[in-house]
Structure 1
């Protein structure tokens, strides 16, 4: 789901650090520096990076630039290769049986721990070649006039990944906007102290 859909869940952030004036002219270059890399033909289990908002297959922003008036838009793409545990167990069992049959011809009965580890790595490499990674796309909207970021996900793991990659790309730290942090920005110092003293309401008896 993204901002172009009828409905969308998203998380809001504010930029904590001062934004350098020369950053705006290098946005596209920085996005390309940390652009998504395809792993369809590689053994990696996961790949993440920025892609064009209009086309998640476009990692060079040939379809459209990220700048849209007072906004900068792009997407975070995350490809994950998922191999079912049952499939891994089956092929590992078969590989270990083959290894036991091989060493039994040499009069051995025990497979060393390091050899078991090596066999598992070989099995995983073979399986990775047979399972294509599943792509996922998460839109990003950057309102430059108020330095606010909207990220089209509410998953904690994705939020952490996004904040880390954003910092790595632009050198800017993000702070998630929650009802509490939003209230603090709207109230004076006296009211802020009152907010800190508010106790959570119990809606059900324990």
Structure 2
């Protein structure tokens, strides 16, 4: 869990309530996380992905007790993403094996309808066997400054977590990178680029002369 130990990439934002600020911020946050908590993938359904909030130190728990959620002025929790995908190679191998056995037993190849029915059975069997791929991304929320840090490198994942938080808590997030601040203040991002001096480009002759006089 990078939020407690180790170095990792994170994105930083400032949270602003879309409506009036809640009177009891801890109760408000706990209720929002529970309402959008992680639910495992239903293996009998067609869904291949599930995502939601979980406790920081236990990705299988969604109770969010005060002792596990709040650390001083911080709320610490995680966003879990599970995905299940049936490998195409495994599906093909099972179908080939079944079709060969069917033809030997029935002296004819299986019909299109029989293939379709068996394919559904095989897919369900492989889904039941498959181990979900799990990703757990940490989130820290300073309840005093309203600064939120999302510990994820993927921009797509960061955006997904932001959307989940906005939906759960009716808040909006303002990015706190220099580029984000420039856009918020109406500045041209080009003005944030490195100066010629910083990247080692030659200075104009007049500037060199002024520097020389200054050193003297």
Name the TM-score, length of structure 1 as normaliser: 0.73
Compared with structure 1, are the counterparts of its residues 183 and 110 closer, same or farther at alpha carbon in structure 2 (3 Å cutoff)?
A: same
Cα distance, 1:155 vs. partner? 0.8
Whole-Å separation in 1 of the counterparts to 2:48 and 2:147: 32
Determine the structure 2 residue equivalent to 1:151: 150
Partner of 1:79: 82
Larger radius of gyration: 2
- Give the Cα separation in 1 of the matches to 2:110 and 2:133: 40
Quick one: distance in 2 between partners of 1:76 and 1:67? 16
Q: Using the alignment, how far apart are the partners of 2:6 and 2:88 within structure 1?
A: 36
- Find the counterpart in structure 2 of residue 166 from structure 1: 165
How far is 1:153 from its partner? 0.3
* Alpha-carbon contact 1:54-1:64 (below 8 Å) kept: no
- The whole-number CA distance in structure 2 between the counterparts of 1:97 and 1:200 is 67
CA contact (8 A) 1:17 1:172 kept: yes
Greater mean deviation of Cα atoms: 61-70 or 138-147: 61-70
Structure 2 partner of 1:28: 30
- Partners of 1:142 and 1:29 lie apart in 2 by 15
1:154 is displaced (CA, Å) by 1.4
Q: How many residues align?
A: 193
Report the Cα offset of residue 5 of structure 1. Answer: 2.3
Please tell me whether residue 60 in structure 1 is matched to residue 93 in structure 2: no
Unaligned 5+ residue runs, structure 1?
Answer: none
**Residue of structure 1 equivalent to 2:12:** 12
**3-state SS, counterpart of residue 21 of structure 1:** coil
Taking the aligned partners of 1:19 and 1:134, their CA distance within structure 2 comes to 37
- SS of the equivalent of 1:138 reads strand
Distance in 2 of aligned mates of 1:42 and 1:157: 28
Deviation at 1:40, TM superposition (A): 8.2
2-side partners of 1:153 and 1:26: how far apart?
Answer: 24
Offset of 1:111 from its aligned partner? 1.5
Contact 2:18 2:172 in 1 (8 A): no
Given the alignment of the two structures, is residue 47 of structure 1 paired with residue 39 of structure 2, yes or no?
no
Structure 2 length-normalised TM: 0.70
Q: Is the 8 A contact 1:50 1:74 kept in 2?
A: yes
| Contact 1:54/1:63 (<8 A) preserved | no
What CA deviation, in whole Å up to 9, does each residue of 1:44-93 have, x standing for no partner?
53221111113222211248242333222111011222443321222233
- Alignment gaps of 5+ in structure 2: 200-216
